[in-house]
């Protein structure tokens, strides 16, 4: 059974977006995974299909109603499937060393919040896993959903043409990925590190690991053992 993704959103026209081209697009055409959208407003309240209301306790903006989001979720979850909610104050979308979150099983349901966010009661009541793609604020959860699904779909069997392409990438083993080089041998006075053209596979492996450690120490020291994340 292929991986099935259901996206709950107020803007279904944003999908499949980048998931409809390149490797993911071809995988979608082959049926390696399926993608459906659920329009949250279809479950809105009253004649105007309201999906939000003013925040309890006052403040700017609006909050997506728990009853509306729950109705959309209950429609999309007739089977046991992990449900995720891309949000800013949450755990990272990728766990270093273990791969993308929400990537197991037969699929996932992703709730895309808007406005000031989703009523906390539906997050708790439906067991949504809150996931972050970075420490910044976006207009809604749709971009986060696309990022999360791209990270998951590319690792599905048969999606990447070369099965080993994903074996040594950033965060695998807790380190950033080493630098890459290709022809020409010299470009604007810069040359490929000689070890990479030496034919010594052991030396190449040691160089790549050392470079991965160096880049991680310079750019993401929080990933190194003993550092808090």
Is the pLDDT assigned to residue 208 strictly greater than 50? yes
Q: What pLDDT shows up at residue 162?
A: 62
- Residue 81: pLDDT band by 50, 70, 90 thresholds? low
Cα–Cα distance measured from residue 27 to residue 155, given in angstroms and rounded to the nearest whole number:
11
Superfamily of domain 172-223: tRNA(m1g37)methyltransferase, domain 2 (1.10.1270.20)
Is the pLDDT assigned to residue 98 strictly greater than 60? no
Least confident of 56-60, 90-94, 120-124, 163-167: 163-167
Residue pLDDT, tens place only, 5-21: 999 999 999 999 999 99
Q: What is the mean pLDDT of residues 43-52?
A: 97
CATH 3.40.1280.10 domain range(s) in the chain: 3-153
Q: In the chain, where do the E strands start and end?
A: 3-9, 33-39, 52-53, 63-64, 83-92, 94-95, 99-100, 107-111, 129-132, 186-187, 190-191
Show contacts of 176-184: CB within 8 Å, 24+ apart: 176/212, 176/215, 176/216, 176/219, 176/220, 176/223, 177/212, 177/215, 178/207, 178/208, 178/209, 178/211, 178/212, 178/215, 179/211, 179/215
Contact criterion met (CB below 8 Å) for 72 and 8: yes
Strand partners, 83: 109
CATH 1.10.1270.20 domain range(s) in the chain: 172-223
**Residue 122 backbone phi and psi in degrees, to 5:** -75, -30
Is the pLDDT assigned to residue 200 strictly greater than 50? yes
Cα–Cα distance measured from residue 216 to residue 224, given in angstroms and rounded to the nearest whole number:
7
Q: What is the mean pLDDT of residues 11-37?
A: 97
DSSP code at position 118: B
- Residue 170: pLDDT band by 50, 70, 90 thresholds? low
Q: Which CATH architecture has domain 3-153?
A: 3-Layer(aba) Sandwich (3.40)
Cα–Cα distance measured from residue 144 to residue 114, given in angstroms and rounded to the nearest whole number:
12
Is the pLDDT assigned to residue 177 strictly greater than 50? yes
Q: What pLDDT shows up at residue 146?
A: 96
The candidate with the shortest Cα–Cα distance to 121, out of 86, 52, 70, is 70
Least confident of 36-40, 132-136, 161-165, 217-221: 161-165
CA distances for 205 relative to 18, 56, 198, 215, angstroms:
33, 57, 12, 15
Is the pLDDT assigned to residue 229 strictly greater than 60? no
Contact criterion met (CB below 8 Å) for 68 and 123: no
Q: What is the mean pLDDT of residues 134-152?
A: 93
């Amino acid at each position: 059974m292929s991986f099935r993704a259901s996206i709950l959103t107020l803007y279904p026209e944003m999908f499949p977006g980048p998931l409809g081209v390149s490797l993911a697009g071809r995988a979608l055409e082959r049926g390696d995974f399926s993608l459906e959208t659920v329009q949250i407003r279809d479950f809105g309240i009253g004649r105007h299909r309201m999906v939000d209301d003013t925040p309890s306790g006052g403040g700017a903006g609006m909050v997506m109603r728990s009853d509306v989001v729950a109705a959309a979720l209950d429609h999309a979850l007739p089977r046991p499937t992990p449900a995720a909610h891309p949000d800013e104050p949450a755990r990272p979308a990728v766990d270093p060393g273990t791969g993308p979150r929400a990537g197991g099983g037969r699929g996932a349901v992703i709730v895309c919040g808007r406005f000031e966010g989703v009523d906390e009661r539906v997050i708790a009541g439906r067991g949504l896993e809150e996931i972050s793609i970075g420490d910044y604020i976006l207009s809604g959860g749709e971009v986060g959903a696309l990022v999360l699904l791209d990270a998951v779909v590319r690792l599905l069997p048969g999606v990447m043409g070369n099965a080993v392409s994903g074996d040594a990438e950033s965060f695998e083993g807790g380190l950033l990925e080493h630098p890459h080089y290709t022809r020409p041998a010299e470009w604007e006075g810069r040359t490929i590190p000689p070890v990479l053209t030496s034919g010594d596979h052991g030396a190449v492996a040691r160089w790549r690991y050392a470079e991965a450690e160096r880049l991680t120490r310079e750019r993401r020291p929080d990933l190194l053992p003993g550092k808090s994340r």
